[in-house]
Amino acid sequence: MHGEMTFFEIGVPDSARAQEFYGRLFGWEFPPTGEGSQVWINTPTIKAGLHDQDAEARIAVFFSVEDLDTAVQAVRAMGGSADDPGPDEPGFGKFASCVDDQGVRFGLHQRLS
């Protein structure tokens, strides 16, 4: 579905500490991604990831789009900013980080076909 929240990512200074906190709070499990301290987050309803060494300490929300390149161009045309889409993430699709015309961060996600 277009515009549906499809993924979230938590960026923190200390991944192990966040895993302890959110694991105890929500019962989440954190299988490794195979990339350093990055882990997946097993939630009952949505795919998610967690990484450390993030000075901003934030939760990023990603919304579904059918065509990531077109959506990135639209964000830019409407006065926002958007990173160029990243490469396909195995099992997930492609992502782009964006900022709307008022400075709010969000992400776009094109699922695998």
Distance of CA 6 to the CA centre of its chain: 9
Residue spans per domain, the chain: 1-62, 65-113
Superfamily of domain covering 65-113: 2,3-Dihydroxybiphenyl 1,2-Dioxygenase, domain 1 (3.10.180.10)
Residue range 73-82, pLDDT digits in tens:
999 999 999 9
Report which DSSP code applies to 56: T
CA-CA distance, 33 to 24, in Å (whole number)? Answer: 21
10-66 tens-digit pLDDT: 999 999 999 999 999 999 999 988 777 789 999 989 989 999 888 888 999 999 999
Confidence of residue 90 (pLDDT cuts 50, 70, 90): confident
CATH architecture of 1-62: Roll (3.10)
1-62 and 65-113: same fold?
A: yes
Q: Are 99 and 93 in contact (CB under 8 A)?
A: no
